[in-house]
Structure 1
């Protein structure tokens, strides 16, 4: 538990640093047609409605460029991973058979990988202008969710969370791909 708190603290501090390192000249002033960038971007993803839902809910999306929209979606991946880890830890505390505990432990490891490796890789790559590595990070997050689901052999208590992570990561990868 102490390790998870340390990871969460590190990621929180990293997010603060990332938000403070985006140069001011990367921001655009608001224009009424900025919403059309969100819509045209989301049309190029595998889940238009999900894309719109998350991007329109983010305060900075109306002034963001495509890279900014991708960064917003990487933050959605991060939030989903945190939420899923909390659910996993709650399920672990409730107990269950050894197979379920083993699967939950495996899933916790996978979602920690999403937070520590995939989100960090995608964020850094987007900030440094290397979208291919950002796409890899998003695709890896989708894969980790799929692998977690398969750990349960059809009886997963995390199906909703795994599907949500997979879908958000696929949308993120599609947005990043527009930068290639």
Structure 2
């Protein structure tokens, strides 16, 4: 039996060596993923607003592991969140009883319709089109949302009450459209 001890020790050492070699590879394999941040950077550089794109995708769960279609889907979800935010601001402004003139109330009502159109029409269109692999319709939905935000801004004669929300919505939708266009 003493004859087997060196052989057993040899097997244990080889197994230990293999484990030690494979642990660093497992720990660092994440850096070898195709989208460990590089795809986000590359994609965002090809959009009209790098900062909006990069910040939105980096802040979203799953962004660093997504392909271009996944990045587009994330941006559609960001569009939805921004449209809901804008609609909430509109509803709060509509509750104000003093300080809003007839023109501003009319503009707010029109903008509410535009943001509902984004939420009911454009977002579902873009989502479904990406799921079905039809990026042209997804791009149309994103572009329509950007246009709705621009139209909302133009509803106000003079100082808009929604400039911040409209600009954010427009920028997010334009970035989404640019990412979707990469799928064509």
TM-score range (shorter-chain normalised) is: 0.7 to 0.9
4+ runs deviating over 2 angstroms? 29-33
Tell me the equivalent position of 1:117.
121
Q: How does 1:93-108 map to 2 (within 5 A)?
A: 93-95=95-97, 96-108=100-112
- Shift in Å at residue 154 of structure 1? 2.5
Tell me the C-alpha RMSD between the 2 structures.
1.2
- The aligned counterpart of 1:164 is 168
* Residue 128 (str. 1) matches residue 122 (str. 2): no
Partner residue, 1:140: 144
Structure 1 stretches lacking a partner, 5+ long: 1-28
Q: 1:76 aligns with which of 75, 78, 90?
A: 78
> Alignment partner for residue 174 of structure 1, among 157, 163, 178?
178
Aligned residue in 1 for 2:14? none
Paired residue for 1:39? 41
- CA deviation after TM superposition for structure 1 residue 94, in Å: 0.2
Calculate the TM-score normalised by the size of structure 2: 0.80
Structure 2 counterpart of 1:55, from 42, 45, 57: 57
- Whole-Å separation in 1 of the counterparts to 2:87 and 2:164: 13
List runs of 5+ in structure 2 lacking aligned partners.
Answer: 1-28
Aligned equivalents of 1:131, 1:154: Cα separation in 2 = 37
Q: Bigger radius of gyration, 1 or 2?
A: 2
* Number of equivalenced pairs: 152
Counterpart of 2:176 in 1: which secondary structure?
Answer: helix
